[in-house]
Structure 1
Amino acid sequence: MKIRRHYLTIRRAFPNIQEHSPFEVTTQELANLLDCTHRNMVLLLKRMQQEEWLVWEPKRGRGNRSSLSFLLSKEQVALQEAQEMMQKQDLNAALALLQQNEESPLVRDKFQEWLSGQFGFHSEVQGKRRTDILRFPLPQAIYSLDPAAIHYTGESHLVNQLYDGLVRIDPRGEQILPQLAHAWEVDATRTRWTFYLRKGVLFHHGRELDSSDVKYSLERLNQLAPLGLYSWVYSAIVAMDTPDDTTIRIQLAEPNEAFLAFLTTNRASIVPQDACTAAGEQFGSKPIGTGPFRLAGNEQGVWILEAFAAYFQGRAFLDRVEVWTVAEEATRENQAELQSFQIMHNARLSDMAAERWQQVRQSGMTCKFITVNEQKKGLLANPAIMAAVDKAIERSELLKLLSGDVIEGVNSFWPDLEENPLQQHAEADFEMIKRELASSGYRGESLVLATIPQYAADAEIIRQVCERSGIPLDISLIPAEQFKGSARMSADLLLFAIMLDEHRELRLIDLYKSMQQHALPDVHDMLEQSIRAILSETDRSLRTNRFIDIEDRLKARHSLLFLYRKHLKTAFHPSVRGISLESLGWVRFRDIWFT
């Protein structure tokens, strides 16, 4: 409410005046504070008095001093304003109001206490009908819910609730299970795959799924994201035909043992041809799938999902899910209220809070690492300097600066198979590192580290460590959608992260294909031959051995520099039932219910 902000401006102008203590001031002096006319100021004072925020006793004459008494403190009014913003579904604005104003340290606790009652699980009863609602914050912006256009984990999570694929994978990544397809087969060449669709599966707009939608979805993916995530899989589809409404045959250019696993990812979600064509570029904000929830609305960064009653695997227990996207900076500044949410992803709780919650340590983890741009002619073309830079990025110092129970050292994309687990590093000797750099031929020149904006904090910590080793780093932040392109090729070092979960093989192949862009010819060819061997290998253990061989070769030449890994946790209140985790360790909304 704008008039509250006017009151706050006036109240802050008299910080030494206590509530209920009359003082004299002219109406024109107040008008000057708000940069308004005398007449408008009179109207505002009358309105504020009606709201019982102040008492105003005017004196006749424009220059006479009136009597004014404040009844509400600026903290009380700021709290009311923040609460109203929240009720209008604008949590970001509410948090920003509290952070930017001088009274925020005093009023924030009260707001957090009030806010905790707004998030979590609620039931609304109208007559005999009960509506179960889950509301929770997401510390990310949502740009698109089109499976062909998503880039971030928050988007990926919501896409999982809205769409289905032909098949799905179990959380351990060991078994492919039916989903929209109830059965499938592959021919002896392992290049021709046939899928048989369930009958009666409905899209959210009421039309029944058929095989032409599957064909359209895969063709559309190739058109919209020719260089997107896992594009090396779907770009190898050379033909598709649909002999009937429930059968689709897919012809690959060559055998690809990752193909079926790719179809379990949300990138391969099935979309309706008619709705996509009608919506065009707007489909990402008006998504339609076959999933257990449908998008009911999106305003002020609040995404509302409603249970899809006709879902082919049974209706969800929850009626509605409200996902409130919160700026990541605001979330860091407001950790206290997060402890009142009934489901939290990637949670890090204090010991006291952890006692009140049940926590699931997810099977997946994120792994941060650096790769060297070997295509760039410069310092790192010298193997001795490359090895010295690897040592200069002192891992023990990184871990010290990062801290936290979920951060660990890592030396492999397969830490679960390491014979010699990574030991704690000794205290860093930066003077010795500087001497080794000097002996390698390094003379203090700057290096460029490129990464995406989401990893800016990690890049800054790496810069600090390199600075202590005597290496000045310039950080280049490149948007995620451009990072795979030529924009990164002017950098010396590239900071990546990878999720090690049930899709690990797919993610690693995607990474190595990306690394081919900035590898020397012999390394490019080694990667190409190794990837081909992996994709033609039906034995999973032999594929793993080949992955580890690639990793060992890249580490030996110091072109792959492991940094650290982060275990992910999902915390939930004891009242939540039916918790099960899907890809990326997020809770499947369809399964949860409350007591």
Structure 2
Amino acid sequence: MALIDKFNVLYRRFGDAPAQPGLEQLADLLHCSERYARIQLTKMRELGWIDWQPGIGRGKRSTLRLVTSPEQIEWLRLRDLVAKGQLEAAFAHLTSPQRNRLLADLSSHLGVVGKEVRIAIPTLPATLDPRRIKNRIESYLVRQIYDRLVDYDEINQRITGALAHHFETNAQATAWTFWLRPGVTFHTGERLDASIVAQSLLRLKEPPGHYAGLFQSLDRVEVLSSEVLTCHLTHTDWLWPHKLATATASITLPSSRHGRPIGSGPFQMEQQSKQRIVLRAFDRYYGTRALIEKVEFWSLPESPDPVTDITFDPGAATQQTDVQNGCTYLIVSTRSQLIPVGERQAILGLLSNALPPANNAERTPALSIIPGWESPRSLRQNSPPDITGTLKIYSYDLPCFTTLFARLQQVLTAAGIRAEHIILGSEAFLRPEEWLSEADLIMGSEILYHRSAYDIYEWLHSSKLLSAGMTKTEHERLHDRLAQIRTDPHEQSRQEKCKALADWLITEGILLPLSHERVGYTANHRLHGTGLAGYGWVDLARIWIKNNELSVS
């Protein structure tokens, strides 16, 4: 019988009331000899479970008081497992109340622990297959595990080499040749070569990839040697290397070879469960090795900080935030029975009065789709539409949407219009074909990894929500304009075309930018290298733990 089981026997017999049982009685209860009972009682006392004083002298009874309960002992055991990072063992076989209590306690075990960092995220990713990713936490983690042929240098606004150390194209931008770095290996030790890269690139066209439509122009990949390959496209595409710098285009091994994510990035997957993901630095990484040994992502459904998205160490932390590259926005569904297409400008013009104040700590008003841009508004702001029914405004379960809806509702109520907020789970929201016929207005949010023309192009090209707010003619015009961006070899003029496209979307009443949400993180003061990176988060490979005891005073 384990020690905790013996304690449970005593608790059932005596509870937390003081008692004076003899050693013989205690031995009978525990089904053991008096000598062994004494040993077990001494251990319980050392653990702080009981207050026990053995009787001294003939006829003197021992005194016993149980100072804790089986529930509290189990709770301390669970907290000890969590402190050691053994979440799977801690969550095994829990009742619902125990699970909820443990989830609420997890944040106290986050942050810097020895030589590792534990990071809270609202939910663990549904997939780490680069072709299937749909949201930014999936994209963020994919970027840690995998690498790509090229990267985007946001400071200099140009594509730079990654797995490929050099690339070039023909005059028509229909053939792009890449020279691979020699000696690059995957986490399994398998060498990366042009044949593997070619297979990975061709898989980008296959369904059900969320961004598969962006890669349909890839006609074939010609392998010229083990370290050189050429992508042949069906039409001019100066954005092709930008597409290959995205998380979706990460180079992977064929999925049939391994049951876990295998890449060549700075971190390799060590463990994945329903409670956490554990990443460990890849020692043979071709670039600069990660400065931190291990990073764990823990699932906390209730985020400890409503402003930041990644929280390293709540309570003893400094905070860094920035406004999102992108915006939250409102779209009128073309299937709405209450808002005809001809009334879109009127309703969005009215709701442009619901933008958040400029001094808000969590968001800033959006004057266009990108921070710093300003687009003309609808010309019909002073003519509210005549709506007799209740508008149904759909969104997913992002906290900012509740706040934004309250502002929208205030404006609508003042105009004599009723509104209902319908909140879907994020997975259901990404399947608009299931609910679009019921929606009048849709709130969405887009955060771009970079503020490049390509990131804007990718959003407008692939957004199902944007398509839901456009007529067939408008959709055709959108893709004509996107084609002009794709065939432009100059980043500056691509940016100008993107700005003109945003102006058109807004003035036509297709899209109303609402806010730029603040994104970022809180980080323990011992963590360094935590400058804001893509999505307003951090580059994990650059962070490191400073031992302040070794610092010069």
Q: TM-score range by the shorter chain?
A: 0.7 to 0.9
- Map of 1:89 onto structure 2: 86
Give the Cα–Cα distance (whole angstroms) in 2 for the partners of residues 173 and 140 of structure 1: 34
Q: What SS does structure 2 have at the residue aligned with 1:572?
A: strand
Q: 2:366 aligned with 1:410, yes or no?
A: yes
Q: Distance in 1 between matches of 2:408 and 2:6?
A: 49
My pick for the range that moved more, 79-88 or 210-219, is: 79-88
Corresponding position of 1:214: 197
Letter in 2 for 1:307: A
> Which amino acid in 2 is paired with 1:80?
L
Distance change >3 Å, CA 194–CA 528, structure 1 → 2? same
1:251–1:181: structure 2 CA closer, same or farther, 3 Å change rule? same
Structure 1 residues not aligned, in runs of 5+: 25-38, 57-66, 124-131, 339-343, 423-432
Q: C-alpha separation between the residues in 2 aligned to 1:474 and 1:153?
A: 24
Query: Residues 300 and 562 of structure 1: is their aligned pair in 2 closer, same or farther, counting only changes over 3 Å?
Result: closer
CA apart distance, 1:291: 1.0
Structure 1 position 289, deviation (Å): 0.7
| Residue 543 (str. 1) matches residue 494 (str. 2) | yes
Residue-by-residue CA offset, 1:455-487 (whole Å, 9 max, x unaligned): 3x4444444444442322251526447726523
Conservation of the 8 A alpha-carbon contact between 2:152 and 2:158:
yes
8 Å Cα contact 2:311/2:521 also seen in 1: yes
Q: How big is the shift at 1:242?
A: 0.4
**Residue 244 in 1 paired to residue 195 in 2?**
no
Partner of 2:422: 475
1:589–1:448 Cα change, 3 Å: same
Q: 2: CA distance between counterparts of 1:349 and 1:298?
A: 22
Say whether residues 1:383 and 2:342 are aligned partners.
yes
CA apart distance, 1:81: 4.1
Alignment of 1:226-245 (within 5 A): 226=209, 228-229=210-211, 231-245=212-226
Whether the 8 Å CA contact 1:449–1:459 is kept in 2: the answer is no
Unaligned runs of 5+ in 2: 22-27, 53-62, 547-553
In structure 2, the residue matched to 1:32 is: none
The residue aligned with 1:126 is: none
Say which structure is richer in helix: 1
TM-score scaled by length of structure 1: 0.72
Instruction: Indicate whether 1:270 and 2:251 are aligned.
Output: yes
Task: Provide closer, same or farther for how the CA distance between residues 451 and 557 of structure 1 changes in structure 2, counting only shifts above 3 A.
Answer: same
Closer, same or farther: CA 264–5 of 1 in aligned 2, 3 Å = farther
> Structure 1: which amino acid aligns with 2:392?
V
2:386 to 418, 428, 441: 441
1:257 & 1:264 partners in 2: Cα distance? Answer: 13
Structure 1 residue 196 displacement after superposition: 0.6
Q: Kindly, what percent of the aligned residue pairs are identical?
A: 21
Compared with structure 1, are the counterparts of its residues 99 and 302 closer, same or farther at alpha carbon in structure 2 (3 Å cutoff)? same
**Could you say what secondary structure the match of 1:240 adopts?**
strand
Deviation at 1:41, TM superposition (A): 12
- The answer as to 2:284 corresponding to 1:320 is no
Residue matched to 2:276: 302
Shift of 1:100: 4.6
Q: Secondary structure at the match of 1:415?
A: coil
What secondary structure sits across from 2:182 in the alignment?
coil
SS in 1 for 2:198: helix
User: Quick check: 1:185–1:194 contact (8 Å CA) kept in 2?
Assistant: yes
- Deviation of 1:237 (Å): 0.7
Q: 1:233 to 1:384 in 2, by over 3 A?
A: closer
1:496 pairs with 2:444: yes
Aligned counterparts of 1:92 and 1:561: Cα–Cα separation in 2 = 48
Q: Give the superposition deviation at 1:199.
A: 0.7
Question: Which position in structure 2 is the counterpart of 1:371?
Answer: 331
Deviation at 1:346, TM superposition (A): 4.9
State yes or no: 1:487 paired with 2:419: no
Using the alignment, how far apart are the partners of 1:191 and 1:144 within structure 2?
A: 32
Give the Cα–Cα distance (whole angstroms) in 1 for the partners of residues 458 and 442 of structure 2: 15
CA distance in 2, matches of 1:488, 1:379: 16
Q: Which residue of 2 aligns with 1:525?
A: 476
CA distance in 2, matches of 1:487, 1:588: 37
Change (3 A) 1:77 1:442: same
Q: Tell me the amino acid that sits aligned with residue 456 of structure 2.
A: L
Shift of 1:328: 2.4
* Structure-1 residue corresponding to 2:55: none
Pairs within 5 Å for 1:23-102? 51=44, 53=49, 69-72=65-68, 76-77=72-73, 79-86=75-82, 87=84, 89-90=86-87, 100=97
| Residues 23 and 497 of structure 1, relative CA distance in 2, 3 Å threshold | farther
Q: Which amino acid aligns with 1:510?
A: E
Distance (Å, rounded) in 2 between the aligned partners of 1:197 and 1:559: 43
Cα displacement (A) at 1:586: 3.0
RMSD after superposition? 4.6
Corresponding residue number in structure 1 for 2:185: 202
Q: Does the Cα contact within 8 Å between 1:393 and 1:465 map onto a contact in 2?
A: no
Distance in structure 2 (CA, Å) of the matches to 1:299 and 1:40:
41
The answer for the alignment partner of 1:569 in structure 2 is 520
Q: 1:512 aligns with which of 460, 475, 480?
A: 460
Cα deviations by residue, 1:258-307 (Å, 9 ceiling, x for unpaired):
2211111111100123xx2324xx4xxx0111111211222452222222
CA separation in 2, counterparts of 1:546 and 1:320? 43
